[in-house]
Amino acid sequence: MSTASSLSVWFATPQGQYVLTREQEIFDSSVADIFGFNAVQLGLPQQNLLRGSRIPLHIRAGKEAGVHLWLEAEELPFETGSIDLVLLPHILEFSMHPHQILREVERVLRPEGSVVISGFNPLSLWGMRRAIGQKKEYPWCGKFISLLRLKDWLALLGFETEAGRFCCYAPPFAGSALVSRSRVIDTADGQWWSVVGGVYLLQAKKRVPGMRLIKPNWNGRLVRKLIPASAKLNKEGNSPSSTATQCNGHNQINE
């Protein structure tokens, strides 16, 4: 059974549904104000994480049943600079080559395009559960990536972090009754423990270095003296006795 389908099986459990419900709310608000023409969701095709997007073309891609496009996340079959938005729901932590996936995302995104990433937080009760428990089952077999490390990876690729949210503060209980009761913890929305949520979502934008506008080096003191004098002469109907010329980026007075 592939990684994606195994992860999908876990998301069908009470624990997984709890995580998806909280993530869906944040994905909906994150993608609502991102505009463009093409949006791609890599993985979790059973969950439409692009439903809140106004972008006209939505593609759910990956290596499992239900995708619109079958592909390898490490080799995206899209032209360079052709995508406006990419969603990565729990893709990086279950990949052998997370850096390559991010490089491909950077390649296919247009300048100022956005990526929204969700991942399990290793600095949380969920991360503790992974550290002390069996790592043969999903999602505990994944390599949880800290938010700071992910930000460093994105910065090296020229991304600028725009927003981040934590969610899923309930302990990772297995029983559906315990999960349901623990949801009351989320009502505070992490007010007192904001950085220890079991899941984080990070939104970043691709920045491309451009031309820097060089403004003239005006002589501010001389301009302040010149403008009132000229305005006064024009009001009285007289012509100024001197003209202002610009030389080497500075104003000079020619008598």
- Residue range 165-203, pLDDT digits in tens: 999 888 887 566 656 665 556 655 545 457 789 999 999
- CATH code of the domain covering residue 126: 3.40.50.150
CA pair distance 76, 85, nearest whole angstrom? 14
**Residue 122 and residue 227 in one domain:** no
**Residue 239 and residue 150 in one domain:** no
**Residue 249 and residue 153 in one domain:** no
**Residue 168 and residue 239 in one domain:** no
The verdict on residue 213 lying in a domain is no
SS3 82: coil
**Residue 52 and residue 138 in one domain:** yes
The answer for residues whose C-beta is within 8 angstroms of residue 15's C-beta and 6 or more apart is: 172, 173, 174, 179
Q: In the structure encoding, which two tokens stand for residue 196, read together?
A: 């220890």
The verdict on residue 214 lying in a domain is no
CB hemisphere CA count around 153 (13 angstroms) = 19
The verdict on residue 100 lying in a domain is yes
**Residue 92 and residue 48 in one domain:** yes
pLDDT at 55 over 90: yes
Domain that holds residue 153: 3-206
**Residue 55 and residue 149 in one domain:** yes
Number of domains in the chain: 2
Residue of 134, 72, 126 lying closest to 104 (CA atoms): 72
**Residue 164 and residue 121 in one domain:** yes
**Whether this model's pTM surpasses 0.85:** no
Over the stretch 80-104, which tens digit does the pLDDT of each residue have? Answer: 999 999 999 999 999 999 999 999 9
CA pair distance 107, 78, nearest whole angstrom? 9
**Residue 157 and residue 246 in one domain:** no
pLDDT at 40 over 60: yes
